[in-house]
Structure 1
Amino acid sequence: MTNPGSTLLAVHLDRSSMLRPLLPALRAGLVDLLDAQAAEPGSLQVVLSTGDDLTRSLADGSHPPATPVDAGGARTALATKLRPVDGPDLRIGAARLLDAVGDELAARAEDDRPERVVVLLVGEAAVGDPSHVRERIAHQRSTYAWEVALVDVTSGGIPAAKRPEPAGPAEAATEQAEGATDDGQGTAAVALAERMDGPAAAARFGVPAPATITAGPGAAGVTAALSAATAFVSRARAVQPHEPVDGFSDDERAAAAVADTRPAWRRFLRIA
């Protein structure tokens, strides 16, 4: 039997370079989330991963383990200023978080395991092939009743090197036309990406559509989405495993869909 009334909150925050202008808003929203969860009833442990916290290689070739702390400890460990990193993207960081948390819980006695595990993934869901993380999410949700939510942060563009493969001749022709502005090596500095809606991002990661919200590309939208995610985590903690959790509301989705009003040159240079 698990520990009644206890929750482990596992959070991965993408710090890839495309999100550079939004990192201050992401950090502030994450701090507010941790403070709010610390005030909720029940025991809470937090595993917080940002950027490459869990994916970097140690001297022996292994990766850092998941180390749960209380909400205050997670807040203290969060850097005062989040800096972008070259990798990993959201799908890789999320997969490593799920593996690390699963390993940490498997090593515990059953009565020391939390009653609820809530996973919050925050980052750009449009990048890369998420099939591996999708399989992990499906397994943990169906087998262990983990609750997973996704805040899909729209930055407005993705690096050309990380564009999805063309789906067919028409898309390939479009990419070839866009390549006219590439540099001499045939790689564009920045390739604009279409905004993914909630259901599309949810399908890519295997997260239920009601538990997925699209944020941005404006910073105010990111703030609103993380506020909505805070409320979602509270609802998830309040119900029993396998009980339904109310998803994001239409009002929350509308508040999170804020345009980026920065001048075009600032967006191109990824300056807040």
Structure 2
Amino acid sequence: MITHDVTDWDDAYENGRNIPGGGNYPAAWVEPSASFRAAAKARLDISYGKGDRHAYDLFMPEGTPRGLFVFVHGGYWVGLDKSYWSHLAAGPLARGWAVAMPSYDLCPAVSIAEITAQVGQAITHAAGEVDGPIVLSGHSAGGHLVTAMMCEDSPLPEAVRGRLAHVVSISGLHDLRPMLKTTRNELLKLDIKSAEANSPALKRPLPGVRLTAWVGGTERQEFLRQNALLANIWHGLGATTLEVVEPDRHHFNVIDGLGDPGSNLVRAALDPVT
């Protein structure tokens, strides 16, 4: 039996200090994202709500889109925005999919429950702009937010739920109760009730929606555990799930495959749908 005793929960969920060159992120994404936006066929800053951060960028492929791919960014619900990730639209775009990337408000100004509702609003708005099946992907906290969309209490309206085909959570956080043991919770402001209420791993998945839980092989043990956790639990509840541990990938470069239409990650996301 292998046991993993956690004595420092902040370190267990700390990525930058535990990755060689980790301090280069997220700055490493700024230039490639800006260059991609400048050259892409895109509608930027589409409003889905009343707040300054209630906007998404929509990248369009050549011809009629095969469907809508949405990428939801991470940042532990307290940082970053849509501008860091534009280059990751390249993979789905080359496969003929429209790609939406939303921003949302951040803790502690709002709660994780409010962020979840905002992401639902952004997806719903984008779904009104693009026909066809919907594939969601998100990284880290974004992985939590997209898996929340396929829970039984999803904020998505019935018409959008009916188009939801596949959710790809990359290094997602699916059980929020460990966050109570971190100093980050000073910003998240979770208690046990809200942590449980916002944990996809403690809910039932919507029927008919596939889940892929994807993580880098060199990530922190807690991210590996969280990845396996959701795929395991939801498989037991009847969902079609796939758990992937991508070798030699850490928490920051595990998303790079989204920018390559021939990558294993893009194929895993789109091939089951198309």
Shorter-chain TM-score above 0.5: no
Larger Rg: 1
Greater RCO (CA < 8 Å, at least 6 residues apart):
1
> Higher helix proportion, which one?
1
